[in-house]
């Protein structure tokens, strides 16, 4: 294989810029397990306010942020309901069951689009002594495997009302909530309103090397801090990573619009519908996904295969317009365009 020209596997492959590295190198640090890291404390305070919550907790990964959130809302033997392609159900290695004794039931969707009626027909708030009771509802915005889908606000509001009616908790996997905010123009606090906990990622489109943040009430975050330590996520002089997150929020948020434009261009040039690519994830139908991926890899273009006839291309700050041109040139003949 030649050296990669364009890596479109995920926005997790971004590398910290020199200014971000400088911010990391100059960060003031302390022992975060003792609550003594001033840079972590500052990041947590900033994100709690930015997202409209009382408190926040810096964690190593989005998966840990989600798992802590789920743990807060469901007891062993209870269930959480979510979309059939949700990251928590498909890409976190059964962690909710393995660590917390939580099971899932899922509703079907097209590309992760939310239908409150599907949720209403699935939940079992008090299933009695013979069936599993629902403890919480989980949503994902944007929806990763749906192709960066932004959830319809009216449907989200209907699900939140349903949860309140049945005293169910609400967790939002907002790994790419930043993308939803930039693409829709809706304020972050409006996108998070009504949820009990929200997990957001700093190491995807924002370009930080490591880290996510869980936000919630003071009581929820105090409990999550204990479980973070139990899960092995207690970190020491981690301000060097929190500094990257603070830099990312300040400098890399609005530029996500560039990623969205490039993903839409990829979609259209490769025969897809621009309407199916609202943010930075292009899902393209191809004759043979694995064969296309192997052939493209030989020419230095990397991407992931979602299924026999589906590929996923994710744009990010390390892919410029020239990179998109190169990807289109390689992919067109491979997909019959």
Helices (H), 126-168: 153-165
pTM: 0.96
**What is the predicted pLDDT for the residue at 5?**
84
User: Within the chain, which residue ranges are assigned CATH 3.40.640.10?
Assistant: 18-251
pLDDT tens for the chain, residues 1 to 337: 555 689 999 999 999 999 999 999 999 999 999 999 999 999 999 999 999 999 999 999 999 999 999 999 999 999 999 999 999 999 999 999 999 999 999 999 999 999 999 999 999 999 999 999 999 999 999 999 999 999 999 999 999 999 999 999 999 999 999 999 999 999 999 999 999 999 999 999 999 999 999 999 999 999 999 999 999 999 999 999 999 999 999 999 999 999 999 999 999 999 988 889 999 999 999 999 999 999 999 999 999 999 899 999 999 999 999 999 999 999 999 887 5
Contact between 335 and 286 (Cβ < 8 Å): yes
- Using N-to-C axis directions, what is the helix angle for 218-230 and 62-73, rounded to 10°? 120
**What 3 state SS string does 76-111 have?**
CCCEEEEECCCHHHHCCCCHHHHHHCCEEEEECCCC
Q: Which CATH class is domain 6-13+254-334?
A: alpha beta
**Rounded CA separation 211/117 (Å):** 34
Residue 229, CB-side half-sphere exposure with 13 Å CA sphere:
10
pLDDT in tens, 168-205: 999 999 999 999 999 999 999 999 999 999 999 999 99
User: Within the chain, which residue ranges are assigned CATH 3.90.1150.10?
Assistant: 6-13+254-334
**Rounded CA separation 197/182 (Å):** 21
pLDDT in tens, 259-303: 999 999 999 999 988 889 999 999 999 999 999 999 999 999 999
CATH no., domain 18-251:
3.40.640.10
């Amino acid at each position: 294989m030649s050296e990669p020209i364009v890596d479109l596997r995920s926005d997790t492959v971004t590398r910290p810029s020199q200014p971000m590295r400088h911010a990391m190198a100059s960060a003031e640090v302390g022992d975060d397990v003792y609550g003594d890291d001033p840079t972590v404390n500052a990041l947590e305070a900033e994100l709690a306010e930015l997202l409209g919550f009382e408190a926040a907790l810096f964690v190593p990964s989005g998966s840990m942020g989600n798992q802590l959130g789920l743990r807060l809302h469901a007891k062993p033997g209870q269930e959480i309901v979510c979309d059939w392609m949700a990251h928590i159900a498909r890409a976190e290695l059964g962690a909710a069951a393995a660590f917390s004794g939580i099971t899932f039931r899922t509703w079907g969707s097209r590309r992760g689009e939310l239908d409150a009626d599907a949720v209403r027909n699935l939940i079992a708030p008090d299933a009695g002594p013979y069936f599993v009771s629902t403890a919480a509802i989980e949503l994902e915005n944007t929806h990763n495997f749906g192709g960066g889908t932004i959830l319809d606000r009216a449907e989200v509001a209907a699900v939140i009302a349903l949860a309140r009616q049945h005293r169910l908790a609400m967790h939002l996997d907002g790994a790419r909530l930043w993308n939803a905010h930039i693409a829709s123009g809706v304020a972050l606090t409006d996108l998070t309103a009504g949820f009990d906990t929200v997990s957001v990622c700093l190491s995807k489109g924002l370009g930080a090397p490591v880290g996510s943040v869980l936000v919630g009430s003071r009581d929820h975050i105090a409990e999550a801090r204990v479980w973070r330590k139990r899960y092995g996520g207690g970190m020491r002089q981690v301000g060097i990573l929190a500094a990257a997150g603070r830099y990312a929020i300040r400098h890399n948020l609005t530029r996500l619009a560039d990623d969205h434009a490039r993903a839409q261009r990829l979609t259209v040039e490769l025969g897809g519908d621009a309407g199916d690519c609202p943010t930075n994830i292009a899902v393209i139908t191809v004759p043979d996904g694995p064969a296309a991926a192997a052939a493209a890899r030989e020419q230095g273009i990397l991407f992931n295969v979602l299924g026999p006839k589906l590929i996923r291309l994710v744009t990010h700050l390390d892919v410029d317009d020239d990179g998109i041109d190169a990807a289109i040139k390689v992919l067109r003949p491979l997909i019959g365009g």
